[in-house]
Amino acid sequence: MAMANSVQMLSESDRRLVAEWAAACAERVLGLFEAESPGDDRPRAAIARARAFSRGELDTASGIRQRFGGGSTAREANSPAAAAAARAAGQASAICHMGAHALGAAAYAVKAASLAAPHQPDAADNEIRWQFAQMTADVRAALRLLPPVGESRSGPLGPGLLASGQIGIIIRQIQAYLAGTG
């Protein structure tokens, strides 16, 4: 399956690196979804696919086909925190297609964590700090290759959902940390 080149894509080896990190970010908040929908294993399966891709057990084309087979779990969630957790898993599974989805997975995980702790104003910052503690130097280097959110129109960091609202703010904060200015 041929894909158009985009600065948001990352090389396959870099996508495999960031996929494990993004899966860990999504898995950290997965319990928010599973507490609400214990019989729905689609987000867990999406995270497992991201990990399989990171280990080289799933190729890009297979990952893309499987990603679209599960339907929209997030729209079926009852709470905003559970929906954000499901979206984090979906973003992680999309990394096989485009590396920029790693930042989407991390941002939705931060959103889920902060929505689940409305009386803890530092919940988002704490989640970002945890995410950074999980990054290897290679993951940081790969994520630094991505353009700033909102600057490149050819991918998920363009003028779509990842660039706007709370998710856009969170990705900007993550990218500021990556640049050493956060």
What is the pLDDT at residue 49? 93
Amino acid at 4: A
pLDDT value of position 152: 77
pLDDT, averaged across the chain: 88
Mean pLDDT on 41-62: 87
Looking at 46-50, 73-77, 173-177, which range is the least confident one?
73-77
- 9-40: pLDDT as tens digits: 899 999 999 999 999 999 999 999 999 999 99
> Considering the entire predicted model, what is its pTM?
0.90
pLDDT at position 70, please? 39
> Which band of pLDDT confidence, cut at 50, 70 and 90, is reported for residue 71?
very low
pLDDT tens digits, 92-102: 999 988 899 99
Q: What is the pLDDT of residue 23?
A: 97
Instruction: Give the pLDDT mean for 45-62.
Output: 85
Q: Between 158 and 60, where is the model more confident?
A: 158
User: Residue 133: its pLDDT value, please?
Assistant: 96
